[in-house]
Amino acid sequence: MDKNDLYVKKNTNYKTVNIILLLLSLVFVSFVSIGYSAINANLMISGDLQFYPIKDLYDLIAKSSKGLDTNINFGVAPTEATSGVYKMNSTNSDKYPVYYYRGIVSNNNVKFASFCWKMVRTTSTGGVKLIYNGVPASDGSCNNKRTASQIGGSTFNNSYDDSKYVGYTYDTNTDSTIKAYIDDWYSKNMTSYTGMLEDTIWCNDRSIYSQNGNNIDYGAYGRLKSFKPSIICPNTSDKYTVSSSNGNGLLKYPVALLTADELTLAGHGYQGYTQSGYLTAEIYWWSLSPDSFVSNGGAYESHVRSSGILDISRVSNSGGVRPALSLKPGTTVNGGDGTVSNPYQIMIS
């Protein structure tokens, strides 16, 4: 055998070995891939491993919008066909238009800070307002009603015989009974999550719609009487915030209550309400909105009745407390689909 024959034979052998090694590598990779997929499948079935794309919460809400709310009559109850997410027309040209959930919706449930919440609306900064809805069941679901949907019960203020008692604070910044109750709950449960919350405005609107002697009807009464809910807070003194840079600076923590206007947007107005609405809790609970002061009756605040309709109650009556807070812009979810059985999982930063 000459040198050329020997070279050809060696070269052929090398090629054969390389082909065999390549085939073995492909087989190995295939087995590893199949095994890895099988393991993942088993883990996913068992719930130990889940693959879920991280989603921005504001974008998630915006993408589900039915469009502008220009044709909504807030004096008419929402039906299944007219329920969903809507963009507020007055904010359409804003950098972050406000979107809100209305009526019969079932995909706005979230779990955050070991509690259940319902998404209500977005804010002008791209944040998301939530309302408390109890603690998760043993299976992780969030389908709470009645007292289970509240942190407890409280009067709005223990006294009622002066118009000042419609205030979330009054006199020289004295806390209302309900504010003290909410702050105490927050201090025991939520302080480690404050960094994830935005200092948004909570409106205790004491602007006067009409007055006859000592009898007063406040701003929310006038707006909602004509079915025109608003998220604008007329007076800086009624804009409850932690920082005085964007409000009155009278909050200790970034938490308060929803307004009667927000409840009307949600489908729980004085007339335009449905018992199937997502905020119906089968028990009555307080809002942040003053309704009226009557000289022979006292101070009255708006609340939601067990049927889901907006109503009023004397501030010295006891009612359910459902705190509301606002997640910062950029908050993301990494699990869930928003239903009561599988709430969105807020990523903790």
Asked if pLDDT for residue 123 goes beyond 60, the answer is yes
Least Cα distance to 217 among 292, 295, 288, 299 occurs for 292
CA distance 104 to 211: 37
**185 shares a domain with 119:** yes
Mean pLDDT of 252-267: 98
Q: Identify the pLDDT of residue 146.
A: 97
Q: Which residues are CB-neighbours of 210 under 8 A, at least 6 positions away?
A: 216, 217, 222
Core vs surface per residue 305-337: b (16+ CB within 10 A) or e = beebbbbbbbbbeebbbbbbbbbbbebbbebbe
**221 shares a domain with 181:** yes
For residue range 54-93, list pLDDT tens digits in order.
999 999 999 999 999 999 999 999 999 999 999 999 999 9
**85 shares a domain with 7:** no
For residue range 135-194, list pLDDT tens digits in order.
999 999 999 999 999 999 999 999 999 999 999 999 989 999 999 999 999 999 999 999
**68 shares a domain with 46:** no
CA distance 243 to 200: 9
Per DSSP, what are the bridge partners of residue 237?
none
**298 shares a domain with 258:** yes
Q: Identify the pLDDT of residue 31.
A: 42
- Percent of the chain beyond pLDDT 70? 85
**140 shares a domain with 31:** no
Mean pLDDT of 286-310: 97
Per DSSP, what are the bridge partners of residue 36?
none
Supply the range of the domain harboring residue 26: 1-51
Provide the domain count of the chain.
2
Asked if pLDDT for residue 48 goes beyond 90, the answer is no
Q: Identify the pLDDT of residue 49.
A: 47
* Pairing relationship of beta strands 99-102 and 84-87 according to DSSP bridges: antiparallel
Q: Identify the pLDDT of residue 53.
A: 84
CA distance 202 to 253: 11
149 — phi, psi (to 5°)?
Answer: -90, 5
- Percent of the chain beyond pLDDT 90? 83
**106 shares a domain with 27:** no
**20 shares a domain with 168:** no
**323 shares a domain with 225:** yes
Q: How many helices (H) and strands (E) does the chain have?
A: 5, 21
- Angstrom CA distances, 113 to 136, 193, 228, 246, 311, stand at 11, 7, 34, 26, 31
**98 shares a domain with 14:** no
**85 shares a domain with 67:** yes
50: confidence class by pLDDT, cuts 50, 70, 90: low
Q: Identify the pLDDT of residue 312.
A: 97
Q: Which residues are CB-neighbours of 343 under 8 A, at least 6 positions away?
A: 109, 110, 111, 116, 136, 140, 141, 142, 336
CA distance 31 to 142: 41
Q: What is the pTM of this model?
A: 0.85
Last residue of one domain, picked from the residues 13, 34, 51: 51
Instruction: Indicate the range of 29-43, 101-115, 241-255, 293-307 predicted with least confidence.
Output: 29-43
For residue range 16-44, list pLDDT tens digits in order.
545 555 555 554 444 434 443 443 444 34
278: confidence class by pLDDT, cuts 50, 70, 90: very high
CA distance 49 to 191: 30
Least Cα distance to 159 among 138, 141, 174 occurs for 174
Q: Which residues are CB-neighbours of 39 under 8 A, at least 6 positions away?
A: none
230: confidence class by pLDDT, cuts 50, 70, 90: very high
For residue range 187-228, list pLDDT tens digits in order.
999 999 999 999 999 999 999 999 999 999 999 999 999 999
